[in-house]
Amino acid sequence: MKNTPFGIFDYQPPTSPWLSVIHRDAHILILDKPSGLLAVPGKPEAHDDCLETRARKFYRGAMTVHRLDRDTSGIVVMGMTRKAHANLSMQFEKRQVKKTYIARVWGNMVGEKGHVDLPLATDWENRPKQIINHETGRAAQTDWDVIAREDGITRVRLTPATGRSHQLRVHMLSLGHPILGDVFYAEGEALAAAPRLHLHAESLTFTHPDSGEICSFTAPCPF
C-alpha cells in the first residue's frame, strides 16, 4: 500500500484474516479491523472492499455505527438491526461510549499522564489532514497515560472524550510526540520507525441496545 502525503494511495487491503469476529448476537456485531482496511467503501470502485462490505457478506443486517481510519486497527461495533443501530448511534453521538486506544509515539513523554484540550479543523488545502484551530475548530479532548517506555519511544493508552477525525494523531503531534508510522503527521525517524501506523483501538464500553447492560469488548494490540 503506497501513500502520498495527502492520502491518495494504491489500495491493497489485507486479506488474512478476511474478517475477525470478536462477538455476535442478534443485535450487535463486534469486529477487529486490521490496519490497511477501509471501514466503509471509498469513492473509486477499487475501494469497495472494506470492513462494512466484508461484514455484510456474512451478516446481511450489519450496519456501520462508527469508523476507524484506514490505517488504525482495532475494535468496531456494528448494529444488526435498525433499532440497535439507532441506539448505538445515539450513544456515540451523546458520548456515552468509552473508547481506549494504544499508541506508540516518538520520543520520551514527560510525566505519566495528561490531558489535551485542543480544537480541530480540516486543513482544506491538505485534506484529509487536520489542524489545531482555536477560531473555527471543533472541541476535542484526549486523556493519555504512559504504559511503557522504550528506547526513545513511549507506549501510551489514549482515551478520547470526543471523536474528531485524526484527533489522536494531531493531539499527540501537538505534544511533540507523533505516532510512529503516521504517513500524515510523522516525519523522518518517527515515520520510518514502524511499517504501519502504531495506533490501535483497544476497547469499547457501551450499553447493550437490547438488554440495557453495560458491556465491554477488547481487541488485543498487534504491536
The full set of domain ranges for the chain reads 2-218
Give per-residue pLDDT as tens, 132-146.
999 999 999 999 999
Question: CB neighbours of 131 closer than 8 A, spacing ≥ 6?
Answer: 120, 121, 122, 123, 137, 170
Cα separation of 196 and 165, whole Å? 18
**Catalytic: which of 10, 25, 69, 71?**
69
- CATH superfamily assigned to domain 2-218: Pseudouridine synthase (3.30.2350.10)
The reply to whether 69 belongs to the active site is yes
Give the pLDDT score at 10.
82
What pLDDT digit, counting tens, does each position of 78-125 carry?
999 999 999 999 999 999 999 999 999 999 999 999 999 999 999 999
Whether 37 contacts 76, CB under 8 Å: no
pTM for the model stands at 0.94
- Mean pLDDT computed over 190-194: 98
Which segments of the chain does DSSP mark as H helices, in order?
51-58, 82-93, 167-174, 188-192
